[in-house]
């Protein structure tokens, strides 16, 4: 699978992981100098997930980060200075000091939706983004992330279920970093594999080693393209570990030493560097060049950020409402004929035949006939299953395999999927 | 108030004169006005979509969206799972791509299931990251129909306390249609409360063409000089009824329909109170934390010297909405209670 990637892709992934880590290292320094306003959260050891998943998106696609997805923002095109300024509450930051951390977005160019601190709320929002994209004919995919802890929220269920019902082109990355603040995953979810939750929504899922950036990318790439092709939402569980505390203030003494040692030996950046070196994709010289490039960039970005002023106090009173066109000209970008969604073409006969009735997917991944005698029994569609190969420990990515019981239609779908790879 | 002069809002359909609708048009119900507004906005702009529980095939629990699926199809009229947070969240996401979704809460009581999504995600987006969310959240609210504690709520004040939202609560078919159209075209999230008691009980004249009613503007429903009665939604009709009875005793009450609770039309309120020097607020919402308290503060700040008496309020009790008709009738304000309070205030 690693061989599927081009040298440039491998090097891009390496660059963005290094950049991700260097940006966060810089912020730790700023934090220790009391230049960060509020808390500082770290994605140390989880960079492969942010970078690998977002790297699978196209420019037109939409993403919504969580607090540990700085890497995804960098891949999508956010400048490090914006991340620094957000954390320093500067006036030139994307939110002009009104919010901090990764809480910012860009509707017009980068297609990023800002998160809020309440976990899970992004899931229905990104389902809506995906549905609007489909409605407008844009052929986009929406992606967001959730943690093992965030998967316990009610809105996780509401959002994923709604996305599944609507077959929204939506990819949800479940970063299982084993800890939600001080609460271990075992007290969040009574499952070995959180990907199993996908079964409840009749959607497909993958389990991937979250510390293997190439595996994360390949998995995300496949999921993104399947979602784009209309196969509905896909859940990816990326198994990893939160190396630092919940935030800077938290020494995370509740984490067993052996567990920390195990994961520290599996640092995603070191693993990828080792792979690149062994494959002769990266030598000392080019590594030095990448380091220098990042150091030069971040020095300039940090300077810019530090020189930005704090917002003027009275700015607090502005911007609660959008006064109208002079503030935002809201226009949907249609990439399909409007005539398809307006009468007479949009109109349907009032003899209701509800689409999807009689076509549910069973928990085995195979097709469940929902049949009350008034509709035809449903015919199967291909279903994929994933299994963890080693009982939930950091698992190698398992590619989707088609369910054993295939119908003709399933075989065709399977064949077309293979053709796409 | 003499019993014989109490026709009561609980009685036959109230014919109400609509404000400003001079053009001759059909008399339609409050419910029909809402349906027309959605129909016309969806017709006008393909970016307008409707989502909610049973809004499609069934046409909505109160039939407010009847016929919309037939005309606009499955992509624009979406039956959703019973997931208020998902409805609101998805609509918010849709609005980021330039759509203008209308979300129906089957009963407005259920809006609190999506409280976090509305108050933290939808309401704060423009202030925090310059992301407008042009969406409407609407649904049937209010009591008087024996719906019990979970189908009779007036939860407007939870949201009036949330910067970033607009909150509308109309009382006439003309306003319902014009304000709902204005809400769909507004760049901000707008909560639109539809008093279900009014749905089929009142009719009003609607002009033939397209029109909107501006958000944030109150309207004087009845002119008077002795005191001002501020009200909205079903209680506006109760207040008018009380005002008629007061007139028979020589007390001319000015009745103002607030129509929009956020932003509040301070100008219209202050102008009236500066004229009458007395103010009574009537709302069906419970007493503590109702809009009357906010108006009392406003008058203390900006019209203290104009007041010849205390601000009085007629509201529901500080209890959940009870189920039994005897209990609910006791719980709710009525014309008699408004009449008594107004008489007391007029004595100052």
Read off the pLDDT of each residue in B161-186 and give the average, rounded to a whole number: 98
Whether B20 is covered by a domain: the verdict is no
B159 and B272 share a domain?
A: no
B118 and B251 share a domain?
A: no
Q: Name the residue in chain A with its Cα closest to that of B85.
A: A155
Read off the pLDDT of each residue in B201-219 and give the average, rounded to a whole number: 96
Which pLDDT value is given to residue A4? 85
| Rounded CA separation B300/B312 (Å) | 13
Whether B211 is covered by a domain: the verdict is no
**CB contact (8 A) between residue A132 and residue B188:** no
Kindly report the nearest CA distance between residue A216 and chain B, in angstroms. 26
Please provide the size of chain A in residues. 421
**CB contact (8 A) between residue A352 and residue B120:** no
Token pair, residue A33, equals 């100098």
B34 and B138 share a domain?
A: yes
**CB contact (8 A) between residue B88 and residue A124:** yes
**CB contact (8 A) between residue A330 and residue B187:** yes
Of A74, A69, A65, which is closest to residue A15 (Cα–Cα)? A74
Residues 6+ apart with CB under 8 A from B322: B148, B149, B328, B331
Helix (H, G, I), strand (E, B) or coil at A106: strand
**CB contact (8 A) between residue A125 and residue B131:** no
Of A242, A212, A299, A179, which is closest to residue A1 (Cα–Cα)? A212
The three-state (H, E, C) secondary structure of B23-34, written as one string: CCCCEEEHHHHH
B140 and B121 share a domain?
A: yes
Residues 6+ apart with CB under 8 A from B345: B227, B278, B279, B280, B309, B310, B312
Whether B80 is covered by a domain: the verdict is yes
Q: Name the residue in chain A with its Cα closest to that of B97.
A: A332
Token pair, residue A155, equals 């809105």
Instruction: Point out the residue among A129, A136, A342 whose CB comes nearest to the CB of B93.
Output: A129
Whether B3 is covered by a domain: the verdict is no
**CB contact (8 A) between residue B71 and residue A354:** no
Instruction: Point out the residue among A135, A158, A347 whose CB comes nearest to the CB of B71.
Output: A347
Provide, rounded to the nearest whole percent, the portion of chain B with pLDDT above 70: 93
Of B208, B257, B234, B250, which is closest to residue B335 (Cα–Cα)? B234
Q: Cβ of B185: how many Cβ atoms within 10 Å?
A: 19
User: Is 50 exceeded by the pLDDT of residue B3?
Assistant: no
User: Residue B81: which CATH number?
Assistant: 3.40.50.970
| Rounded CA separation B336/B112 (Å) | 32
Q: Which residue has the tokens 């929009």?
A: B260
Long-range contacts of B12-18 (CB under 8 A, 24+ apart): B13/B200, B13/B201, B13/B202, B13/B203, B14/B201, B14/B202, B14/B237, B15/B202, B15/B203, B16/B172, B16/B202, B16/B203, B16/B204, B16/B237, B16/B240, B17/B204, B17/B205, B18/B172, B18/B173, B18/B174, B18/B175, B18/B204, B18/B205, B18/B206
**CB contact (8 A) between residue B128 and residue A95:** yes
| Rounded CA separation B215/B156 (Å) | 16
CB B128 within 8 A of CB A166: no
CB B204 within 8 A of CB B171: no
Kindly report the nearest CA distance between residue B75 and chain A, in angstroms. 7
Q: Where are the beta strands (DSSP E) in A115-169?
A: 142-147
Which pLDDT value is given to residue A224? 98
Whether B10 is covered by a domain: the verdict is no
Q: Which residue has the tokens 């001759």?
A: B24
Kindly report the nearest CA distance between residue B262 and chain A, in angstroms. 12
Q: Which chain B residues touch A320 with a CB distance below 8 Å?
A: 126-127, 163-164
Q: Which chain B residues touch A99 with a CB distance below 8 Å?
A: 128-129
Helix (H, G, I), strand (E, B) or coil at A374: coil
CB B321 within 8 A of CB B328: yes
Which pLDDT value is given to residue A368? 54
Of B263, B255, B220, B262, which is closest to residue B238 (Cα–Cα)? B255
Token pair, residue A112, equals 């990023």
Which pLDDT value is given to residue A349? 84
User: Is 90 exceeded by the pLDDT of residue B245?
Assistant: yes
What range does the domain containing B176 cover? 25-205
Of A92, A78, A98, which is closest to residue A37 (Cα–Cα)? A98
Catalytic residue annotation of B: 151
**CB contact (8 A) between residue A99 and residue B129:** yes
Instruction: Point out the residue among A116, A117, A321 whose CB comes nearest to the CB of B126.
Output: A321
Q: Where are the beta strands (DSSP E) in B47-187?
A: 48-52, 77-79, 100-104, 136-141, 166-168
Mutate to test the interface with A, among B66, B84, B102, B129 (most CBs of A within 10 A): B129
Kindly report the nearest CA distance between residue B138 and chain A, in angstroms. 18
Instruction: Point out the residue among A114, A118, A128 whose CB comes nearest to the CB of B128.
Output: A114
B142 and B189 share a domain?
A: yes
Whether B5 is covered by a domain: the verdict is no
Instruction: Point out the residue among A124, A322, A341 whose CB comes nearest to the CB of B86.
Output: A124
- Under 8 Å CB pairs connecting chains A and B tally to 185
ipTM: 0.92
CB A130 within 8 A of CB A64: no
B196 and B231 share a domain?
A: no
More confidently predicted of A384 and B274: B274
User: Is 60 exceeded by the pLDDT of residue B12?
Assistant: no
Kindly report the nearest CA distance between residue A126 and chain B, in angstroms. 6
Instruction: Point out the residue among A95, A333, A347 whose CB comes nearest to the CB of B73.
Output: A347
| Rounded CA separation A112/A142 (Å) | 10
Give burial (CB, 10 Å; 0-12/13-18/19+) of A179: buried
Task: Count, in order, helices (H) and strands (E) of chain B.
Answer: 12, 15
**For the domain bounded by A2-317, which CATH number is listed?**
3.40.50.970
B188 and B67 share a domain?
A: yes
Which pLDDT value is given to residue A66? 96
B230 and B200 share a domain?
A: no
B142 and B75 share a domain?
A: yes
Q: Give pLDDT tens digits along chain A (421 positions).
A: 577 899 999 999 999 999 999 999 999 999 999 999 999 999 999 999 999 999 999 999 999 999 999 999 999 999 999 999 999 999 999 999 999 999 999 999 999 999 999 999 999 999 999 999 999 999 999 999 999 999 999 999 999 999 999 999 999 999 999 999 999 999 999 999 999 999 999 999 999 999 999 999 999 999 999 999 999 999 999 999 999 999 999 999 999 999 999 999 999 999 999 999 999 999 999 999 999 999 999 999 999 999 999 999 999 999 999 999 999 999 999 999 999 999 999 998 877 666 666 666 665 566 555 444 444 444 444 334 333 333 334 444 444 333 333 333 434 444 444 444 3
Helix (H, G, I), strand (E, B) or coil at A206: strand
Domain edge (last residue) among B205, B228, B243: B205
Mutate to test the interface with B, among A78, A111, A121 (most CBs of B within 10 A): A121
- Taking each helix axis from N to C end, the angle separating A7-32 and A47-54, rounded to the nearest 10 degrees, works out to 130
Dihedral, CA of residue B139, residue B142, residue B146 and residue B147, to nearest 10: 40
Domain edge (last residue) among B172, B205, B238: B205
Q: Which chain B residues touch A319 with a CB distance below 8 Å?
A: 126-127, 130
Domain edge (last residue) among B178, B205, B232: B205
Instruction: Point out the residue among B87, B94, B128 whose CB comes nearest to the CB of A132.
Output: B94
User: Is 60 exceeded by the pLDDT of residue B185?
Assistant: yes
B45 and B173 share a domain?
A: yes
Between β-strands A170-176 and A234-239, what pairing exists: parallel, antiparallel or unpaired? parallel
**CB contact (8 A) between residue A324 and residue B72:** no
CB B284 within 8 A of CB B233: yes
B259 and B173 share a domain?
A: no
Kindly report the nearest CA distance between residue A396 and chain B, in angstroms. 33
Kindly report the nearest CA distance between residue B196 and chain A, in angstroms. 26
When divided into structural domains, chain B yields a total of 2
**CB contact (8 A) between residue A125 and residue B47:** no
Q: What DSSP assignment string belongs to A8-24?
A: HHHHHHHHHHHHHHHHH
Q: Which chain A residues touch B120 with a CB distance below 8 Å?
A: 116-118, 121
**CB contact (8 A) between residue A165 and residue B81:** yes
B220 and B200 share a domain?
A: no
User: Residue B279: which CATH number?
Assistant: 3.40.50.920
């Amino acid at each position: 699978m690693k061989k599927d990637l081009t040298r440039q892709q491998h090097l891009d992934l390496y660059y963005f992981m290094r950049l991700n880590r260097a940006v966060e290292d810089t912020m730790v320094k700023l934090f220790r100098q009391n230049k960060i306003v509020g808390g500082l959260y770290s994605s140390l050891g989880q960079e492969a997930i942010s970078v690998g998943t977002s790297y699978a998106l196209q420019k037109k696609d939409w993403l919504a980060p969580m607090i540990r997805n700085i890497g995804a923002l960098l891949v999508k095109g956010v400048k490090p200075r914006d991340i620094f300024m957000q954390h320093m509450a500067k006036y030139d930051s994307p939110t002009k000091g009104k919010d901090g951390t990764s809480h910012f977005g860009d509707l017009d160019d980068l297609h990023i939706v800002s998160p809020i601190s309440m976990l899970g709320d992004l899931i229905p929002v990104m389902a809506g983004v995906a549905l609007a994209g489909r409605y407008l004919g844009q052929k986009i995919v929406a992606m967001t992330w959730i943690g093992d802890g965030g998967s316990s929220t009610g809105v996780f269920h509401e959002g994923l279920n709604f996305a599944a019902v609507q077959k929204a082109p939506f990819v949800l990355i479940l970063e299982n970093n084993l800890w939600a603040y001080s609460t271990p995953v075992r007290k969040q979810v009574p499952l070995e594999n959180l990907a199993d939750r996908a079964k409840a929504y009749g959607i497909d899922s993958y389990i991937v080693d979250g510390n293997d950036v190439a595996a994360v990318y390949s998995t995300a790439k496949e999921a993104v393209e399947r979602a784009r092709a209309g196969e509905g939402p896909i859940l990816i569980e990326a198994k990893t570990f939160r190396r630092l505390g919940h935030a800077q203030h938290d020494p995370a003494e509740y984490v067993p030493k052996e567990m920390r040692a195990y994961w520290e030996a599996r640092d995603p950046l070191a693993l990828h560097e080792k792979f690149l070196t062994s494959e002769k994709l990266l030598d000392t010289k080019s590594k030095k060049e990448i380091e220098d490039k990042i150091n030069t960039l971040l020095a300039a970005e940090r300077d810019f950020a530090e020189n930005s002023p704090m917002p003027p106090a009275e700015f607090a009173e502005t911007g609660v409402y959008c006064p109208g066109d002079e503030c935002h000209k809201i226009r949907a970008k249609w990439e399909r004929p409007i005539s398809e969604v307006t009468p007479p073409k949009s109109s349907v006969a009032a003899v209701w035949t509800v689409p999807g009735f009689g076509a549910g997917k069973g928990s085995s991944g195979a097709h469940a006939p929902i049949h009350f005698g008034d509709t035809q029994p449903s015919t199967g569609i291909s279903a994929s299953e994933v299994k963890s190969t080693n009982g939930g420990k950091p698992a190698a990515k398992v590619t989707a395999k088609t369910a054993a019981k295939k119908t003709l239609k399933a075989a065709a779908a399977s064949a077309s999927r293979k053709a796409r790879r | 108030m003499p019993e014989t002069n109490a026709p009561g809002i609980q009685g036959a359909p109230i014919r109400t004169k609509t404000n400003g609708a001079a053009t001759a048009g059909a008399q339609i119900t409050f419910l029909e006005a809402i349906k027309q507004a959605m129909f016309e906005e969806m017709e006008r702009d393909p970016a307008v979509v409707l989502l909610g529980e049973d809004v499609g095939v069934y046409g909505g629990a109160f039939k407010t969206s009847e016929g919309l699926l037939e005309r606009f199809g499955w992509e624009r009229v979406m039956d959703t799972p019973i997931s208020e947070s998902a409805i609101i969240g998805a609509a918010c996401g849709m609005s980021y791509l330039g759509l203008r979704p209308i979300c129906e809460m089957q009963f407005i009581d259920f809006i609190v299931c999506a409280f976090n999504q509305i108050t933290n995600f939808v309401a704060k987006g423009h202030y925090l990251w310059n992301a407008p969310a042009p969406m409407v959240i609407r649904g049937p609210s209010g009591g008087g129909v024996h719906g019990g504690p979970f189908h009779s709520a007036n939860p407007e004040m939870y949201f009036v306390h949330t910067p970033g939202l607009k909150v509308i609560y109309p009382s006439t078919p003309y306003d319902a249609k014009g304000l709902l159209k204005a809400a769909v075209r507004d760049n901000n999230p707008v909560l639109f409360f539809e008093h279900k008691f009014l749905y089929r009980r009142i009719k009003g004249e609607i002009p033939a063409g397209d029109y909107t009613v501006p958000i944030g503007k109150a309207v004087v429903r009845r002119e008077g000089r002795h005191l001002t009665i501020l009200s909205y939604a079903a209680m506006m009709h109760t207040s008018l009824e009380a005002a008629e009875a007061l007139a028979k005793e020589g007390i001319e009450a000015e009745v103002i329909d607030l129509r929009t609770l956020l932003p509040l039309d301070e100008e219209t309120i202050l102008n009236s109170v500066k004229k009458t020097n007395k103010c009574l607020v009537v709302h069906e919402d419970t007493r503590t934390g109702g809009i009357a308290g906010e108006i009392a503060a406003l008058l203390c700040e900006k019209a203290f010297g104009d007041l010849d008496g205390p601000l009085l309020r007629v509201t529901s009790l500080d209890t959940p909405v009870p189920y039994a008709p005897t209990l609910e009738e006791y719980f709710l304000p009525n014309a008699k209670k408004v009449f008594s309070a107004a008489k007391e205030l007029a004595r100052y």
